[in-house]
Amino acid sequence: MQNITVIGAGTMGNGIAHVFAQFGYNVNLYDIHQSSLDRAVATITKNMDRQVVKELISEDDKNAALGRLSTSTDLKSSVEKADLVVEAATERVDIKLDLFRQLDELTKESCILASNTSSISITKIAAATKRPEKVIGMHFMNPVPVMKLIEIIRGYSTSDETTEAIVELSKKLNKIPVPCNDYPGFVANRILMPMINEAIISLHEGVAGVEEIDSIMKLGMAHPMGPLQLADFIGLDVCMSILNVLYEGLGNPKYAPCPLLVNMVTAGKLGAKSGEGFYDYSEGPKNAKVSSQFV
């Protein structure tokens, strides 16, 4: 595999494109909006500049990686030569199913189709194609250039050959691939999201405040970031979406999103990306303070 197409130029998509380009792959980054692609290239360049300053890569390495990166708003031309497509689009089932139907028609038969979904069934996504044996989950962690883990999810029909190819590819990216089976939330979010939800419930019930909850988890459990701050970083809408997938997929009320989370998402308080969630980011993420709603 040499030609990689990444679908979606958001935070995860640009990070995935960054890593593939850095490690010598030809990358085509696709998005429906040219403005999103322009922002992605600017972000990738800025992040590579940081790597140069930290002496993780050289200036020549950066320039070569950027030279391997192209962008497009035309899906057909973006994927027709791809050996692997990694989808990092919006975390909505309908969007992903429609996209994979198109990818199945537009890519060559040998192309592996991967999804960066954090919770949606790979088996369900694969069923939208005529090549379910070549559909797999590659759940990268954010920030992609820094985090080592790739959660590799086998759908019901994913072949051993496809799994082995993606595991070996992940290692070439200097990542650590960890396989798991296709159940709602997989492993990472099946464990993480109930913890975040319980932190929100604790805040909602007045057990403790925002900073207190986060401090206890950071200082007592050695978490680098408290669960409420992490929820802001992930996006409260994304957290709610994943919890709904867990709730609907497993049928257990313990996964139902806290009413406070639902209300915040409805009000547009989505965390860092909207400027406010449990914290206020109006002065930048490094100067975040507890949102006035919770003071």
Catalytic residue among 139, 197, 241, 276: 139
The position carrying tokens 């030569």 is 81
- In this structure, the answer to whether residues 215 and 243 fall within a common structural domain is yes
Residues of the chain scoring pLDDT < 50: none
CATH number of 227's domain: 1.10.1040.10
- In this structure, the answer to whether residues 108 and 153 fall within a common structural domain is yes
Q: What pLDDT does 244 receive?
A: 94
**152, part of any domain:** yes
- In this structure, the answer to whether residues 176 and 196 fall within a common structural domain is no
118 known ligand binder:
yes
- In this structure, the answer to whether residues 149 and 251 fall within a common structural domain is no
- In this structure, the answer to whether residues 84 and 101 fall within a common structural domain is yes
- In this structure, the answer to whether residues 149 and 256 fall within a common structural domain is no
The position carrying tokens 């050289």 is 58
**128, part of any domain:** yes
- In this structure, the answer to whether residues 139 and 200 fall within a common structural domain is no
Number of domains forming the structure of the chain:
2
Taking residue 239's Cβ as centre, other Cβ atoms within 10 Å add up to 29
Q: What pLDDT does 91 receive?
A: 85
Residue 282 is a catalytic residue: no
Residue finishing a domain among 126, 157, 181: 181
Residue 113 lies in domain: 3-181
Residue finishing a domain among 181, 212, 245: 181
**16, part of any domain:** yes
- In this structure, the answer to whether residues 21 and 146 fall within a common structural domain is yes
31 known ligand binder:
yes
> Which residues are within 8 A (CB) of 152 and not within 5 positions of it... i.e. 6 or more apart?
136, 137, 138, 139, 163, 166, 167, 170, 177, 178, 179, 180
9 known ligand binder:
yes
Residue 33 is a catalytic residue: no
Q: What pLDDT does 92 receive?
A: 87
- In this structure, the answer to whether residues 96 and 62 fall within a common structural domain is yes
Catalytic residue among 14, 78, 121, 151: 151
- In this structure, the answer to whether residues 24 and 154 fall within a common structural domain is yes
Tell me the chain's radius of gyration from C-alpha atoms.
19
**87, part of any domain:** yes
142 known ligand binder:
yes
89 known ligand binder:
no
**295, part of any domain:** no
Residue finishing a domain among 138, 164, 181: 181
- In this structure, the answer to whether residues 75 and 159 fall within a common structural domain is yes
CATH number of 141's domain: 3.40.50.720
Residue 78 is a catalytic residue: no
Residue 151 is a catalytic residue: yes
- In this structure, the answer to whether residues 158 and 33 fall within a common structural domain is yes
**137, part of any domain:** yes
Q: What pLDDT does 90 receive?
A: 85
